[in-house]
Chain A
Amino acid sequence: MQTLRFRHTAKRRLSGKKDEAIIGVVASGNLEVLLERVLPEAACEVDIATPLSGYDETWKAVVAEFVERSSPGGLRISINDGGARPDTVYLRLMQGSALMEAE
């Protein structure tokens, strides 16, 4: 198992009142994303546990694109990856931050 960690500073704190959300399932080609509003200000941390190695650059690009699009400031995001494709990862992250923005 490989673990990756990315730290970003988002443009702003993510709006909404939810403290915690979970989306997705750990299954082949899928992933589970846990989002917790526990970090200060616009800090954002993404922790990934994945069984596949050699995709560090791809994860980095997906996370960077997500942070740029969604501005998830204040979120600690933890991922259990079942070998999902990058587009699926991106979709789940966007779905997760949409859940957290709920009022």
Chain B
Amino acid sequence: MADWQSEQRARGERLAAGSKFAAGKIVAPNDATALLEAVIRPKDRICLEGDNQKQADFLAACLAKADPKVLHDLHVVQSGIVLPEHIDLFEKGIAKKLDFSFSGPQSHAVPRVLKSGKVELGAIHTYIELFARYFVDLTPHVALSVARSADRQGNLYMGPNTEDSPSVIEATAFKAGIVVAQVNEIVDKLPRVDIPGDRVDFVVAAPKPFYVEPLFTRDPASITEIQILAAMMAIKGIYAEYGIKRLNHGIGFNTAAIELLLPTYAEKLGLKGKIATHWALNPHPTLIPAIESGWVKQIHSFGSEVGMDAYMRARSDIYFTGRDGSMSSNRMYCQLAGLYATDLFIGSTLQIDLNGNSSTVTTDRIAGFGGAPNMGSDAHGRRHPSEPWLKAGREAVDGHPQLMRGRKLVVQLVETFSEKMVPVFVEKLDSLELAEKFKLDLAPVMIYGDDVTHIVSEEGIANLLLCRTAEEREQAIRGIAGFTDVGRRRDRKMVERLRERKIIRRPEDLGINPLDAHRSMLAARSIKELMHWSGNLYDPPNKFRNW
């Protein structure tokens, strides 16, 4: 007789094995490693949360202490390779296969461990690609999650750091998987239920609160005049020009400069209410002045940010907020928002080639993709029109075709050189060399040139929508590549013609004097000023408090 319940039965066996270490669902911290050895089986697909923010750090450490004779050949299917323990799993032979998305903090360790032969790499994904595969062919057998608190029934509260958990746990729980959560404390009643206890099998109160990386905080004191100049051009030459109300900012000093120029420079241009009202955005502290000045209608967030809890609680008109008053984030939904409900993505990158392909890969580091490739893409499945979307779509074609489509603006905001005199504009991406070195099927590209609509550098804006040939595209890019080798090799005559056609626009063409770009234009010039803007509700992490 065919057996159609084998997974449910296997789950029952794992639960029984794990229950030896639990009182109900609660497991003592000292028994955590033993629990994991009991519920996980060799060759299992496992997910240790999180990606670039919250981390199930205690469970990661416990898993790394497991006996490789008991747990081996695990297939890690998690979005973040972030903690040293994640690398340890491979060094120790506990894990063998890897599918992931983001590895920023371990970007030097990943190539090293790949070279050592201890890792069989499946693929590097974007966040939502990986989560999507959780529902098709990479469903985790065991998910190790992280929450602020749990009650005895296993209900979990995550507060603003809800992030990926709903997606990870839904896929695992409804395909006979086991869900274990580490929490800061076990309480009688939760402020709100983010994950119902039905989906949670075991809970461990970790000895220390879970770690969260303050990834989205940028100190305004580090923003340079050159970044301010590029931000001014983006605001006047793109946001105002296309009427961008719905948008997503990638993280970086250049985008932080835009956020801090809204209440000042953009205000003077009369743009309040006309741009930057609805956001898919993490809780950037640098947006506080714009929020306080009445620019923002609402924000949905992928994750949270350290120090922003009290501010968001006091601004529930702006942020998505639970019944308990604290924010609720969701990476999957916010990514969808970025794909289909915004008209512009803007972010920075490390390298751009002559087609506009961009990459953050260098030959000695692999940081993965995170969410940028999806945010920085034109979603062909979109159907509802908006003015910016239609305007961009019209610029991309000649005449008035009957079957028209709009385009989402995908803007790369860069300085021609990054630190240490490394040019951002290159003839050939380092990514190609990396692909050869590690025998990857695809050279890792963050954003493909055919999705990019504009590139902004301190030298000007290149509008790729208006380019009709590969040569025009190449010269448009060279024309804003400044003093890099790529820029110096421009065809000067052609660049002048492109400028006449407004494919290239210099600061002067936008009525901007580069010498006017000044730090005094920033609504806040320091972390302390951001704090004051927030009425002292924003509580900057200690590493930013230089006063």
Which A residues fall within an 8 A CB radius of B?
29, 52, 55, 57-58, 61-62, 65, 83, 85-88, 90-91, 94-95, 98
A-B contact pairs, 23 of them (CB 8 A): A29-B419, A55-B421, A57-B488, A61-B483, A61-B488, A65-B483, A85-B415, A85-B417, A85-B421, A86-B416, A86-B417, A86-B482, A86-B483, A87-B226, A87-B416, A87-B417, A87-B458, A87-B483, A88-B226, A90-B483, A91-B225, A91-B514, A94-B514
- Chain B residues in contact with chain A, CB under 8 A? 225-226, 415-417, 419, 421, 458-459, 482-483, 488, 514-515
User: Quick check: B419 and A87 within 8 Å, CB to CB?
Assistant: no
User: Which residues from chain B contact A85 at a C-beta distance below 8 Å?
Assistant: 415-417, 421
Task: Determine the distance from Cα of A91 to Cα of B482 in the docked complex, in whole angstroms.
Answer: 12
Interface centre among B415, B419, B421, B483, by most chain A C-beta atoms within 10 angstroms, is: B483
- Residues of B within 8 Å of A62, CB to CB, are 483
Contacts of B416 in A (CB 8 A): 85-87
A83 and B421 in contact, given A58-B483, A90-B483, A98-B515 (Cβ under 8 angstroms): yes
Query: Given the complex, which residues of B lie within 8 Å of A55, measured CB to CB?
Result: 421
Which residue from B415, B421, B458, B459 sits with its C-beta under 8 Å from A52? B421
- Max count, chain B CB within 10 A of own CB: residue among A52, A61, A91, A94: A91
- Which B residues are in CB contact (< 8 Å) with A98? 515
A86 / chain B contacts, CB cutoff of 8 Å: 416-417, 482-483
Q: How far is the CA of A90 from the CA of B514 in the complex (A)?
A: 11
A61-B483, A91-B225 given; name 10 further pairs at CB < 8 Å: A29-B419, A52-B421, A58-B483, A58-B488, A62-B483, A85-B421, A86-B417, A86-B483, A87-B417, A87-B483
CB distance from B523 to the nearest CB of A (A): 22
User: A65: nearest residue on chain B (CB-CB)?
Assistant: B483
Measured in the bound complex, the distance between the Cα atoms of B421 and A29 in whole Å is 9
Give Cα A32 to B226, complex, Å.
17
> How far apart are A33's CB and chain B's nearest CB, in angstroms?
14
Classify the interface of chain A: helix, strand, loop or mixed. Answer: helix
A95 and B515 contact, CB distance less than 8 A: yes
Q: Closest residue to B458 on the A side, CB-wise?
A: A87
Top 8 nearest A-B pairs by Cβ distance? A86-B483, A85-B417, A87-B458, A87-B482, A61-B483, A61-B488, A58-B483, A98-B515
Q: A99 to chain B: closest CB distance in Å?
A: 10
Q: Is the CB of A91 within 8 A of B226?
A: yes
What is the minimal beta-carbon distance from A87 to any residue of chain B, in angstroms? 5
A83 CB, min distance to chain B CBs, angstroms: 7
Chain A residues with CB under 8 Å of B488's CB are: 57-58, 61
Residues of A within 8 A of B419 (CB): 29
Residue of B nearest to A52 (CB): B421
Least Cβ distance of B391 to chain A in Å? 30
CB distance from A85 to the nearest CB of B (A): 4
Interchain CA distance A86-B514 in the complex, whole Å: 15
| Distance, CA A57 to CA B514, complexed state (A) | 24
- Interfacial chain B residues near A88, Cβ < 8 Å: 226
Nearest CB of B to A55, in Å: 7
Question: Quick one: closest B residue to A29, CB to CB?
Answer: B419
Q: Who on chain A is nearest to B415 by CB?
A: A87
Give min CB distance, B456 to chain A, whole Å: 13
- Inside 8 A of B417's CB, which chain A residues have their CB? 85-87
Q: Which residues of A contact B225 (CB under 8 A)?
A: 91
Task: Please give the distance in Å from A59's CB to the nearest CB on chain B.
Answer: 9
Is B515 touching A94 in the complex (CB atoms < 8 A)? Answer: yes
Residues in B whose Cβ lies below 8 Å from that of A90: 483
| Cα separation A86 to B419 with both chains bound (whole Å) | 11
Contacts of B514 in A (CB 8 A): 91, 94
Cα distance A57–B483 in the bound complex, in angstroms: 10
CA A98 – CA B515 in complex, angstroms? 9
CA distance A98 to B483 in the complex (A): 21
User: In whole angstroms, how far apart are the Cα atoms of A52 and B483 in the complex?
Assistant: 16
A5 to B128, CA, bound (A): 55
Nearest CB in chain B: distance from A89 CB, A:
9
